[in-house]
Amino acid sequence: MRKLLSMLLCGVCLVALLCSCTKDDPYKTYDVSVQLVYPAGSEFTPVEGVTVNARNVTTDMLYTGTTDASGIATIAVVAGIYEFTSTETRAKNGTAVMFNGLKTGITVTKEWKNNPQTVSIELVETEAKQIIIKEVYVGGCPKNDGSGSFANDKYIVLYNNSEVDADLTNLCFAIPIQYNSYATNVDYVDGVLSYESEHKVPAGHGLWTWGTETPKLKPGEQVVVAMTGAINNTLTYNYSVDLSKSDYYAMYDPESGYNNAAMYPTPSENIATAHYLKAYRYGAGSGWTISVASPSFFIFITPEGVTPQSFFEDTSNENLYNNLAAMKRKWVPSDWVVDAVEGFKIGEGAKNKKRLITEVDAGSIAFINTKGYTIYRNVNKEATEAIAGNTGKIVYGYSGGTTDIEEGTTDPSGIDAEASIQNGAHIIFMDTNNSTNDYHLRKEAALRK
């Protein structure tokens, strides 16, 4: 009996030994080479330092590696079935260019050592706006005594909505003509904007761009530009905004012809002259005439070889709205446009007509002036919550919208962006190229916080 048991035990051990020889060692690692393949025709090529992830689909263990200059990453993994992914973001002319790739079903066994393979990840290239218009405040606020409104306290806020640093070189501020959404618009032919199919938008009256200093924005940073009244307006009007902060920029260039004293008082001494913007004026009048009742606004960056000045000096791109010399405008190719917003006047209904073509902005946001309201960007809830560092920092329960008035709107995310930023959160804003989805009407200018 003992002899039989001994023989059985030896047999079990032999089987176990044989099995162990055929199974993969759970602790042994194998080097897997992963090649990132960039799309044909892309201006971007492989670079060093791009992260590549390998996820074991059975155990959910994650292994990582980084690429060398040829775009190859070597990752040490244990045997198993893997999913390989890579995401990379680069910047180009105010746009974030993203590369994403996925390769699934790669099985690594002990045979890998004798028969290694290179895993190729085909990257898909997409573009996302790097610089966005976060807020537009142009409608004015009530005067202290209720006798009317004050509207020479306009400002705009630009925001870096991407994961890479933003260079704002050659960025220009522009408004379209027709100025008002509810006015007769001779650009409409058979109910369609005549330039819709021409992939261009009209920049009316003049352009503004940076002066001697161009801001650089890190991810999540913003820049405030005072369009008019770069002073502390709250000293005169309680409901206005203080635009005298030293980090603000000011549209101030009297030599350009934009010298209306009420609109362009000498900026606060807190604001350095290097923060004064440069204007290129080609329309008539002493003020840049953005609509206070139905603002439409866009920013664009001139491509390599074209500067704001050379674009201004080029007369081949000029056109007169309705043949009126005072309403000169320049055509901006739609692929130069970085971001845009279109406001419709509340109460004008069908009279409201878009001035921006669909590929630049497919929607509109209802607006009412003289109340201190502002056009403010909605939060991308999913993208913001997905940022690991935001845990415990996001403030919910936003109540700053205008849903208590007819046609008023609010941020559907329910996130209070300004409070969250103050709490240390990194906010990602909505960017669908559609003002209806991307903005809401806010009760109070964010700079009054």
Task: Report the phi/psi class of residue 362: left, alpha or beta, with left for phi > 0 and alpha for psi in -120 to 50.
Answer: alpha
CATH 2.60.40.10 at 26-128, yes or no: yes
Tell me the pairing of strands 216-217 and 188-189: unpaired
The set of residues, in sequence order, having a beta carbon less than 8 Å from that of 352 and lying 6+ positions away, is 181, 182, 294, 344, 345, 364
- For the segment 196-211, what is each residue's pLDDT rounded down to a tens digit? 999 999 999 999 999 9
Q: Is the pLDDT of residue 96 over 90?
A: no
**What pLDDT does 109 receive?**
93
Q: Which comes out higher in pLDDT, residue 352 or 26?
A: 352
Query: How far is the C-alpha of 108 from the C-alpha of 106, rounded, in Å?
Result: 7
The set of residues, in sequence order, having a beta carbon less than 8 Å from that of 391 and lying 6+ positions away, is none
**What pLDDT does 329 receive?**
96
C-alpha distances in Å from residue 370, one per residue of 242, 351, 354, 444? 17, 20, 22, 11
Q: Is 152:263 a contact under the CB 8 Å cutoff?
A: yes
The set of residues, in sequence order, having a beta carbon less than 8 Å from that of 230 and lying 6+ positions away, is 243, 244, 248, 250, 251, 252, 265, 267, 268, 271
Q: Which comes out higher in pLDDT, residue 85 or 182?
A: 182
C-alpha distances in Å from residue 418, one per residue of 20, 57, 278, 428? 60, 39, 30, 12
| Residue range 147-167: mean pLDDT, rounded | 95
- For the segment 207-261, what is each residue's pLDDT rounded down to a tens digit? 999 999 999 999 999 999 999 999 999 999 999 999 999 999 999 999 999 999 9
- For the segment 380-419, what is each residue's pLDDT rounded down to a tens digit? 998 899 888 999 999 999 999 999 999 999 999 999 999 9
**What pLDDT does 62 receive?**
86
The dihedral built from the CA positions of residue 241, 242, 246 and 249, taken in this order, carries a sign that is positive
**What pLDDT does 356 receive?**
96
Query: How far is the C-alpha of 381 from the C-alpha of 391, rounded, in Å?
Result: 13
Query: How far is the C-alpha of 182 from the C-alpha of 294, rounded, in Å?
Result: 8
Query: How far is the C-alpha of 127 from the C-alpha of 95, rounded, in Å?
Result: 7
Q: Which two tokens stand for residue 388?
A: 């690991």
For the chain, domain boundaries: 26-128, 130-378+429-448
- For the segment 26-69, what is each residue's pLDDT rounded down to a tens digit? 789 999 999 999 999 888 999 999 999 998 878 878 899 999 99
Q: How confident is the model at residue 24 (pLDDT cuts 50, 70, 90)?
A: low
The dihedral built from the CA positions of residue 274, 152, 168 and 201, taken in this order, carries a sign that is negative
Q: What share of the chain is helix, strand, coil (3-state, %, to 5)?
A: 20, 35, 45
Average model confidence (pLDDT) across the chain: 91
Overall pTM surpassing 0.85 (yes/no): no
The dihedral built from the CA positions of residue 343, 348, 350 and 351, taken in this order, carries a sign that is negative
The C-alpha angle 397, 382, 437, rounded to 5 degrees, equals 80
Q: Is 259:287 a contact under the CB 8 Å cutoff?
A: no
- For the segment 299-323, what is each residue's pLDDT rounded down to a tens digit? 999 999 999 999 999 999 999 999 9
Q: Is 170:104 a contact under the CB 8 Å cutoff?
A: no
**What pLDDT does 18 receive?**
38
Q: Which of 376, 374, 395 is nearest to 384 (CA)?
A: 395
